[in-house]
A and B are shown apart, each in its own frame.
Chain A
Amino acid sequence: MIEISHVNKWYGPTFQVLKDCTTSVAKGEVVVVCGPSGSGKSTLIKCVNALEPFQEGQIILDGIKVNDPKTDLPKLRARVGMVFQHFELFPHLRIIDNLCLAQEKVLGRSHEEAVAKGNKLLERVGLTVHANKYPAELSGGQQQRVAIARALAMDPIAMLFDEPTSALDPEMISEVLDVMVDLAHEGMTMMVVTHEMGFASKVAHRVIFMDKGEIVEDAQKTDFFGSPRSERAQKFLSKILSH
């Protein structure tokens, strides 16, 4: 489904953020990407739907080459859902309109169709009563659940999560993770940048560990948590699991 091969990316002429990254995500697979901040994990996931350009290598998404100048990027992005650290709901639109905008403008669905789909997804994330509110009236956890619903409204073939819980207060993290766990159990293809190792050990199939722009470790979940091979991954794990 997602094939990342030998991706190199530089900011400016000298600073290399991604170094020869190669990995893949199969259909229905849940892959967690972790690593210290500044390791390039968010950048890598943003390369997958071409929100970030890269200079070398290639990424193939469901058979389509992302970094081909001929690729219709908006069309490609419409097929992959993305959830951001800071939710990025559109503050000037009601919740239901946040869910409908792209359905209507990108997929060409009628307003009635879009609203019906939107309401169904709001029910799924347990926020039906908030349909007519504005994003600022919702808590962070609720906003992030709306953001997930908004991405799902496009019937994506895969979902990308960029630190979906890092901006949340601790008591709101689980309500968002619950939605993500359900998604994973339904067989959604997911690539998740997160530090939530509980989530990783519960639903991930594979864990990728990145450091300084490199994929240091790319292992089955049990291998990763059991006995990470690299010293850097061991150190990272001992730090975040010690509390």
Chain B
Amino acid sequence: MFDNLDFDVIRRSLPYLFLDGMSFTLMLTGLSALGGLIFGTLIALMRLSGYKLLGRIAGLYVDFMRSLPLVLVIFWFYFLVPYIGQWLTGASRPIRVGAFTSSLVTFIMFEAAYFSEIMRAGIQSISKGQPAAASALGLTYSQSMRYVVLPQAFRNMLPVLLTQTIVLFQDTSLVYVLSIPDFLGAASKVAQRDGRLVEMYLFAAAVYFVISCVASYGVRRLQARIAIVR
């Protein structure tokens, strides 16, 4: 069955697959997770702020993002961002936005919706006595959040945040709709150029599988360690 397969194509394309493709995928994953966490924390704080209007806006945003297929958001954003940029800057023509910037903005906004729910649960898991003690010492609301509540919420939620990041790592492959050479995009380019679809897609699947599995195992070990500290 494997007679007419040529696995040497993988070896020949390794530098391209990893140096170009995988480094793009990892960079997109890392930056999106970081941006999504920051933006998501802000959304969570808005929802918990006690100001009804702010909370409502944040809630609508989260529901909106979670009700759309990611691939559609990526697609739409790529076409919309130039016009939004034009509108914001008042330029005469749509601004040029690279595929990387566009997909990064998309992932940050999309992931923020998910990260915000995780951070919201994390903040709510901190007993009311903690911010009360911080206030009693004279810390302001923002100081109490920054030095007392958020560090604990982040630590408690770290395993969940990392698991979500592993999902994000797999989801970044959807940028193929913008024909960006991320890891999957690179593999698919080689596959089509050399007519080696089966080999390349098998290899790509194996790589995603191994990385995600190892990362998940790492998260489980971390979870056990955090449980002991607490």
Contact = CB atoms under 8 A, between A and B. Distances in A.
A136 B155 CA distance: 15
A86 B129 CA distance: 8
Interface residues of A, number: 28
Given A84-B129, A86-B129, A136-B230, A51 B136 contact: yes
B137 A151 contact: yes
A107 B130 CA distance: 20
B137 A106 contact: yes
Contacts of A89: 133
Contacts, number: 66
Interface in A66-111: 73-75, 77-82, 84, 86, 88-92, 101-102, 105-107
A102 B136 CA distance: 10
Chain B contact patch, size range: 20 to 34
Contact of B139 (A79, A102, A136): A102
B136 A77 contact: yes
Nearest to B140: A74
A79 B136 CA distance: 9
A150 interface: yes
B137 A77 contact: yes
A91 B152 contact: yes
Interface of B: 127, 129-130, 132-140, 143, 147-148, 151-152, 155, 229-230
29 contacts: A51-B135, A51-B136, A74-B135, A74-B139, A74-B140, A77-B136, A77-B137, A79-B138, A80-B136, A81-B136, A82-B136, A86-B127, A88-B129, A89-B133, A90-B133, A91-B152, A92-B152, A101-B139, A102-B134, A105-B143, A106-B138, A106-B139, A106-B143, A134-B229, A136-B229, A136-B230, A150-B137, A151-B136, A154-B137
